[in-house]
Amino acid sequence: MIKKQIEIANEISEQEIVYHLYFTQALIFLIALALGIYLFTPATFFAIWQWDVREILLYGGGCAALVLFVDFLLIRYVPEQWYDDGGINEKLFRSRSVPHIFIMTAIIAFCEELLFRGVIQTHVGLLFASVIFGLLHIRYWRKWLLLVAVVSLSFWIGFIYEWTGNLWVTIFAHFLIDFILALHIRYRTKEVNNDA
């Protein structure tokens, strides 16, 4: 499966990967919207959106800082093949501009947190939302470290949501994690290409 994923990553163009990413996020958003209309009253929906800048920066930023610290330790100290997703992330981010990466990771964070925290976790619970989040990251299933990392991340962000009850906190945390890791991939790839 991993070899097949690498073959697919090599065959598919960067534009196709970006298209599939946006298509997937649009689908996630539409599912969240449909479920949200069915499951929420206006009052309960607006209750999870608290624009408390201090809370967003402190808890969302703190959550992201801890995750990034652990991620960069793993990147530094574990064998590269344990952390390799088959080249998808590299192909996705290596040629994107910083503003495009910013927009892309903001959309990912918003759509995924709306569905997994805002809708699923609010109505079914942390365990179910985190397991579903892990299952949807199919490309990590055969890479135990990546699978453990993504499921642990989902539980951690879910815990922060349980604690704060504020969806903006988890959106900000998710965004910071994705944005900084995407920039790391972009600049690391440029360094490797310049050294070659």
54 vs 192, residue with greater confidence? 54
User: pTM value?
Assistant: 0.90
Structure-token pair, residue 71:
């991620």
Write down the pLDDT at residue 6: 57
Long-range contacts for 73-78 (Cβ within 8 Å, ≥24 apart)?
Answer: 74/145, 74/149, 75/184, 78/145
CA nearest to 63, candidates 154, 161, 157: 157
Write down the pLDDT at residue 137: 79
Per-residue pLDDT tens digits for 19-67:
999 999 999 999 999 999 999 999 999 999 999 999 999 999 999 999 9
Per-residue pLDDT tens digits for 118-162:
999 999 999 999 999 988 877 777 788 888 888 999 999 999 999
What are the residue ranges spanned by the domains of the chain? 2-9+27-39+48-195
